Amino acid sequence: MTKNPEALARQQKRTQMRREQVLAAAEQCFQREGFHAASVNRIAAEAGMSVGHVYRHFDNKEDIILTLCERKFADYISHTPRLAVHTKMDTDAVVDTALDDFDWLVDPVQARYVMDVFAESGRSEQINSIVADQDYRLRHNARVLLEPYFPPERPEELECRVEMLVLVLEGLMMRTVANPEGDKARLKLAFRHLMRAILQ
């Protein structure tokens, strides 16, 4: 018997809620224990459900990891410097734009998670593909931000500055992981100086 649309919608909503419950539990486990140490059994216990219920929503642990990696990197890209249109602004305005999401980039939990995904990409072709796709998007955002400041007849200069900006952004997260108790105000000032250098 075919379910009516309302019943089907309720079932889909419950299924999505269960998936989100598993993902939230998995993220907690991965942050505490890392991708490899956290088992499906531990994820199920954290989610307050049986292992069988977890497997109803995800094929295996890698399926969970892939889903979280896609989300985390989409979140990462959304917190990197970007402009909606190609517009040349005052240098200070560009630097301020780049600093809009500074606190997210130097949040120890977020930084450690993104670095874990980078590490995992060396062991999983699927995760490596996600990382490569997000790297392309990050470089695109950097190019849109910087393109108005460099003459079109010197594309190599623009690409060099794009790489510099990506290095700075990823370096920020690495510094945060290496020194989570570091002086954020000093790091922010260093980032401001580096952004000015990139724009010159």
pLDDT tens digit string along 13-71? 888 899 999 999 999 998 888 888 889 999 999 999 999 999 999 999 989 998 988 88
The residue with tokens 């140490």 is: 37
Q: Is pTM beyond 0.85 here?
A: no
Domains of the chain: 5-58 (1.10.10.60), 66-199 (1.10.357)
pLDDT tens digit string along 172-182? 999 999 998 88
Q: What pLDDT score was predicted for residue 86?
A: 47
- In three-state secondary structure terms, 181 is coil
Q: What pLDDT score was predicted for residue 32?
A: 86
Select from 77, 105, 102, 82 the least CA-distant residue to 94: 82
Q: What pLDDT score was predicted for residue 85?
A: 47
- The b/e string for 30-63 (b: 16+ C-beta within 10 A; e otherwise) is beeeebeebebebbbebbebeeeebeebbeebee
Average pLDDT, the chain: 86
